[in-house]
Chains A and B, each alone.
Chain A
């Protein structure tokens, strides 16, 4: 199933009339799901970076088994949060927290990844509820 929503970068439409672009209404933004598996593809590109993640059977959360399209932001947005084109490659292990699609298809909006040393790489400036910003920089 293909789901296509015209859009560009990360600006929620709430409070802003029809001039923003990407509607995040298709994601459950209040729900955080952890997907842990293997990177199939790491596409560092605009308008959105995409990480295709394969979660194998036996995962801690059975609902996450399968191949997922985890959509990030534009490269300048993610670059400011510490990402670059070499952050991941096919075959890497990955643990990613994302907001799933409302309709159950295997897509999600990236919130952050957890690196092996525990450091988080966020998609954008947003931080979990109750946590302040940890800052950002160029790669």
Chain B
């Protein structure tokens, strides 16, 4: 009877202790990690003269010769005024990391188990799982525009590992995203939480000769900021048009 009582007590304690350790490794409670939540927006801190200029400080990626040639050809066509992509005419879904370099705000909502980045542009919210789950094995990985993202905290830095992109998007610095691309991001607050620094490191031996790393910074939006919806109507004839010189009267 004494042994039974002892065994029963230990049988109760051990699983609970184990589960605490396991959960603790996968999920860190809110009180111990920074709060990244809120609306974030890019700002032109130094005066670039144009939106394109805001991206000029991104270092050029070390690209494979094939990608360099493709970029040059596309740039030349654009300079001639040609259409190089009909993605916008058909309102196709914007792929990651488009909204991270766009000027529309995006919203972070943060729980202990998941962070969601919610952009305004027409794409899907990006889910970052913090509960310790691994990436699915490749046989079960469903490619997506945002990829499969898992995160963990290293001190005050959220480290996010993403694979499983559909591919086709571009990155600042002239790179692009492919189905085998691997992305590591580091999210960190600065300046008392007013600035969010995100460092991107892209790896893909078919695109980059070496990992392509750059940092973008975002400013916290004004209190009371609310999300807009960026509607896109492919059936609207205006969608495919741009500047039209008015009648000169």
Q: A residues within 8 Å of B by Cβ?
A: 1-26, 29-30, 40, 45-48, 52, 66-69, 71, 74-77, 79-80, 99, 101, 105-109, 124-133, 135-138
List, in ascending order, chain A residues with CB within 8 A of B120's CB. Answer: 76
List, in ascending order, chain B residues with CB within 8 A of A9's CB. Answer: 88, 102, 104, 121, 230
List, in ascending order, chain A residues with CB within 8 A of B224's CB. Answer: 137-138
Interface residue? B249 (CB, 8 A)? yes
Q: In the complex, what distance in Å separates the CA atom of A26 from the CA atom of B77?
A: 12
Please give the distance in Å from B239's CB to the nearest CB on chain A. 6
Residue of B nearest to A66 (CB): B248
Within 8 A of A (CB), among B213-237: 219, 221-222, 224-226, 228-233
Q: In the complex, what distance in Å separates the CA atom of A99 from the CA atom of B50?
A: 10
List, in ascending order, chain B residues with CB within 8 A of A77's CB. Answer: 103-104
Q: In the complex, what distance in Å separates the CA atom of A65 from the CA atom of B123?
A: 41
A71 CB contact (under 8 Å) in B44, B55, B172, B243: B243
Q: Is B242 in contact with A5, judged by CB distance below 8 angstroms?
A: yes
Q: In the complex, what distance in Å separates the CA atom of A109 from the CA atom of B49?
A: 13
Residue of A nearest to B43 (CB): A133
Q: What is the number of residues of chain B that contact chain A, defined by CB distance less than 8 Å?
A: 76
B88 CB contact (under 8 Å) in A22, A26, A127, A133: A22
List, in ascending order, chain B residues with CB within 8 A of A46's CB. Answer: 230-233, 239
Residue of A nearest to B77 (CB): A18
Interface residue? B246 (CB, 8 A)? yes
Interface residue? B148 (CB, 8 A)? no
Some 28 contacts from A to B, beta carbons below 8 A apart, are A6-B86, A7-B88, A9-B104, A11-B51, A13-B78, A16-B172, A16-B174, A18-B77, A18-B84, A18-B170, A19-B87, A21-B88, A29-B50, A29-B52, A40-B246, A76-B229, A76-B230, A80-B105, A106-B246, A125-B51, A126-B53, A128-B47, A130-B47, A132-B44, A132-B46, A133-B45, A136-B221, A138-B225
Interface residue? B1 (CB, 8 A)? no
Contact A132:B45 (CB < 8 A) given known A25-B81, A71-B242, A77-B104: yes
Q: In the complex, what distance in Å separates the CA atom of A17 from the CA atom of B170?
A: 6
Q: Is B247 in contact with A67, judged by CB distance below 8 angstroms?
A: yes
Residue of A nearest to B247 (CB): A67
B83 CB contact (under 8 Å) in A5, A108, A124, A130: A5
Interface residue? B6 (CB, 8 A)? no
Please give the distance in Å from B20's CB to the nearest CB on chain A. 44
Q: Is A137 in contact with B232, judged by CB distance below 8 angstroms?
A: no
List, in ascending order, chain A residues with CB within 8 A of B86's CB. Answer: 6
Q: Is A16 in contact with B242, judged by CB distance below 8 angstroms?
A: no
Q: Is A21 in contact with B85, judged by CB distance below 8 angstroms?
A: yes
Q: Is B54 in contact with A23, judged by CB distance below 8 angstroms?
A: no
Interface residue? B30 (CB, 8 A)? no
B176 CB contact (under 8 Å) in A7, A17, A29: A17
Q: Is A127 in contact with B47, judged by CB distance below 8 angstroms?
A: yes
Known: A40-B246, A67-B248, A133-B45. 4 other contacts (CB 8 A): A18-B85, A19-B85, A25-B79, A133-B43
Q: In the complex, what distance in Å separates the CA atom of A27 from the CA atom of B45?
A: 23
Residue of B nearest to A108 (CB): B243
Residue of B nearest to A105 (CB): B245
Within 8 A of A (CB), among B79-100: 79, 81, 83-89, 91, 95, 98
Q: Is A17 in contact with B174, judged by CB distance below 8 angstroms?
A: yes
Please give the distance in Å from B67's CB to the nearest CB on chain A. 8
Q: In the complex, what distance in Å separates the CA atom of A128 from the CA atom of B50?
A: 7
Residue of A nearest to B176 (CB): A17
List, in ascending order, chain A residues with CB within 8 A of B44's CB. Answer: 125-127, 132-133
